Structure 1
Amino acid sequence: MEEGTKTKRTVFVGGVGDDVDEVALMDAFSTFGDIIDVQLPTAPTNPSQQTNAKHRGFAFVTFGSPEDAQDAIDNMDLNELQGKVLKVNLARHTKAPIQGLGNRAVWESEEWLKENAKPLAESGGAKIAGRQKRPTDDEDEMEE
């Protein structure tokens, strides 16, 4: 199946309460059609703390057909689920991550830096040693 087709069948569900799990989402959205997948991304946890991993407050629900996904959007957007108002819309496809990066930010990749970063002198960045006066410095002094 083509990736573009899958995104038209997947809805983004924002505003998901802390006590909502995949089963609750499945129950709430299954009235609109066959559900293929429910994803409830978890928040990164601090390994030194012994707490249960909480989800990030949003989910993705993939339906069997684009029509079912649209029905879910039409009926569940701005509706409540366990006391929280949901924001439901078509999930947007994000660019595929750079291979081998995992959860690291793209600018942490040496390859990305070599291709996209300029030396500080070429980028127009601030000069640390002899700090140049910015146009806003005068405005700040006048306000004081």
Structure 2
Amino acid sequence: MEEGTKTKKTVFVGGIGDEVDEGVLYEAFSTFGDILEVQVPSAPMNPNQPNETNKHRGFGFVTFTSAGDAQDAIDNMDMNELRGRVLKVNLARPQKAPAVGAGNRAIWETEEWLRQNAKPLAQSGGLSHPRQSSL
């Protein structure tokens, strides 16, 4: 087991069908132990289909009161079916905040780098164009 996984109590449940909601996940996973919370993140609204409701992103999270129960759920539910869909169940990984300069942005786009390194154009010796008069 990886270091720190003994305290992990939240499992990621991927591949859930459209009809699966928090109640269905709770029912399916409650056999493995006491559940603190079930979350099924909803999909962003599609402006082209404003009447569509109750859509989710195809995954959810189940948080157990004990890490052992979470591991039991993974061992028993990973690659099993729930309402005709094969689930992918594993320990949920917390979203990590990107390090400064990491991710999809160049380092010079981060606020911290700009505060430390950017100078006003007049002080930078950078490009400045005097206004050219029209001929």
Residue aligned with 1:70, SS: helix
Q: Return structure 1 stretches of 4+ with deviation > 4 angstroms.
A: none
TM-score normalized by the length of structure 2: 0.67
Taking structure 1 as reference, are residues 44 and 77 closer, same or farther at Cα in structure 2, changes over 3 Å only? Answer: same
Q: Distance in 2 between matches of 1:68 and 1:58?
A: 19
Offset at 1:51?
1.5
Give the count of matched residue pairs.
105
Q: Distance in 2 between matches of 1:27 and 1:112?
A: 46
Taking structure 1 as reference, are residues 113 and 77 closer, same or farther at Cα in structure 2, changes over 3 Å only? Answer: same
2:39 is equivalent to residue 39 of structure 1:
yes
Residue type of the partner of 1:19?
E
Partner of 1:12: 12
Asked if structure 2 preserves the Cα contact closer than 8 Å seen for 1:45 and 1:53, the reply is: no
Q: Percent identity?
A: 66
Structure with a larger share of its residues in helix: 1
Partner of 2:80: 79
Asked if structure 2 preserves the Cα contact closer than 8 Å seen for 1:15 and 1:87, the reply is: yes
Unaligned stretches of 5+ residues in structure 2: 99-103, 115-135
Taking structure 1 as reference, are residues 72 and 112 closer, same or farther at Cα in structure 2, changes over 3 Å only? Answer: farther
Residue type of the partner of 1:8?
K
Offset at 1:29?
0.1
TM-score normalized by the length of structure 1: 0.63
Asked if structure 2 preserves the Cα contact closer than 8 Å seen for 1:44 and 1:53, the reply is: no
Kindly name which structure, 1 or 2, has the bigger radius of gyration based on alpha carbons.
2
2:52 is equivalent to residue 55 of structure 1:
no
Q: Distance in 2 between matches of 1:11 and 1:116?
A: 36
Q: Which of 110, 113, 129 pairs up with 2:110?
A: 113
Offset at 1:47?
4.5
Measured on the aligned residues, the alpha-carbon RMSD in Å equals 3.0
Partner of 2:117: none
Residue type of the partner of 1:93?
P
Taking structure 1 as reference, are residues 113 and 53 closer, same or farther at Cα in structure 2, changes over 3 Å only? Answer: farther
